[in-house]
Amino acid sequence: MTDVYLGIDVGSVTTKLAMVDTNGQPVDCFMIRTSGQPVKAVQSGMKSLYAQAKTEYNVLGVGTTGSGRNLAGALVGADIIKNEITAHAVAASTYVPDVQTILEIGGQDSKIIILRDGIVTDFAMNTVCEAGTGSFLDQQASRLNVPIENFGDVALRSTSPARIAGRCGVFAESDLIHKQQLGYPEEDLLYGLCQALVRNYLSNLALGKEILPTVTFQGGVATNKGMVKAFEEALGLKVTVPDNHQNMGAIGAALLAMENHQFTEQPTKFKGQHVGDMKFNSTTHQCAGCSNNCEIVTITEEDPDNPLKEGQKPKIIARWGGTCGKWDLA
């Protein structure tokens, strides 16, 4: 049996799970599409992670991160819940000790993190503009009928990239269609899209920030070789893509769980791998206690092995949405 720490990163597009050993080295990772159902994604991810395991795991601690970190934390029994900035910074500084700049682009958001001496000194996030995210490339690749996994290799063949407006996703799409109609080669359009996304990213997130080497590129978009080249050309610096770059958020959460366990020496709250078989429900209601009209979300769980008796209510494991504390769990 191997002692491990579990990290879960629930994003809007994908959910990542990672195990690290007691030395902080990744043991296993798994990624699944969130598909708008984070509860099912976490449960399916847990089942798959354990199904592919080559040994039995003894989980000593659990950390969650991502936009669905609070929900995931309630489902699995997390010991520590942290934001994506902290998780990505911890993972990057662990495996790339001299990192000073982290570029991260996911499916629906992007972020830049500035570190000095291993400490986050500045960061910025983009969660509103599609043109600076992976979904922008995904949609345009689909329009060009190029599989997203081949995007980078095709883009690298470009010799004269098209200049595509990248400040807005709508304008970029119109510009792409126009240049398609003019007969631009496929590879020039694809690399032009990479350059457009990089310009959008740097003008929105990196403005006024000092980007120093070592620079790491994390998130799913870092798989795209065209994006790596476009960043290197724009920055005039080498861009390092770490191993497990897609899972750095989950790995960072696992490392934070390890640090928390070693510091507190408390037993984990982890509910065990049977979380994948438990039944979770969510309900919402509007509080009429004041003019804020807060929308309260309540999460309950039921264990199939211990069915509810007549008149017994499901166990409430989490509740949020209020601003005054009235609905907080004790």
CB 326 within 8 A of CB 287: yes
Give how many domains the chain has, as a whole number.
Answer: 3
- 122 and 165 in a single domain? The answer is yes
Within this chain, do residues 206 and 265 fall inside the same structural domain, yes or no?
no
Specify whether 101 is located in the same domain as 233: yes
Residue 127 and residue 226 in one domain: yes
Q: Which range marks the domain in which residue 291 is found?
A: 278-320
Given this model, what pLDDT does residue 312 score?
Answer: 82
Q: Which residue carries 């958020």 as its tokens?
A: 249
- Residue 269 domain flag: yes
Q: Judge if 106 and 81 occupy the same domain.
A: no
**Does 197 share its domain with 300?**
no
- Domain assignment present for 326: no
Q: Which residue, of 184, 217, 241, is where some domain finishes?
A: 241
Within-domain flag for 328: no
8 A C-beta contact, residue 301 and residue 314: yes
Residues linked to residue 283 through DSSP beta bridges, in sequence order = 298
**304, part of any domain:** yes
Q: Are residues 129 and 80 in the same domain?
A: no
Shared domain for 76 and 145, answered yes or no, is no
- pTM strictly above 0.75: yes
CB 84 within 8 A of CB 66: yes
- Digit-by-digit pLDDT tens for the chain (330 residues) are 899 999 999 988 899 999 999 999 999 999 999 988 999 999 999 999 999 988 899 999 999 999 899 999 999 999 999 999 999 999 999 999 899 999 999 877 889 999 999 899 999 988 666 666 777 888 888 888 888 889 999 999 999 999 987 677 677 778 888 888 888 899 999 999 899 889 888 988 998 899 999 999 999 899 999 999 999 999 999 999 998 999 999 999 999 999 999 999 999 999 998 898 889 988 999 999 899 999 999 999 987 777 778 778 888 998 988 888 888 886
Q: Specify whether 263 is located in the same domain as 283.
A: no
User: Alpha-carbon distance 48 to 308, whole Å?
Assistant: 28
We report the CATH number of the domain holding residue 10 as 3.30.420.40
Are 101 and 84 within one domain?
Answer: no
**235 domain-assigned:** yes
Are 85 and 113 in the same domain? no
CA distance linking residue 133 with residue 71, whole number of Å: 24
Task: Provide the pLDDT for residue 181.
Answer: 84
Return the H-helix or E-strand segment holding 129: none
Domain identity same for 146 and 166: yes
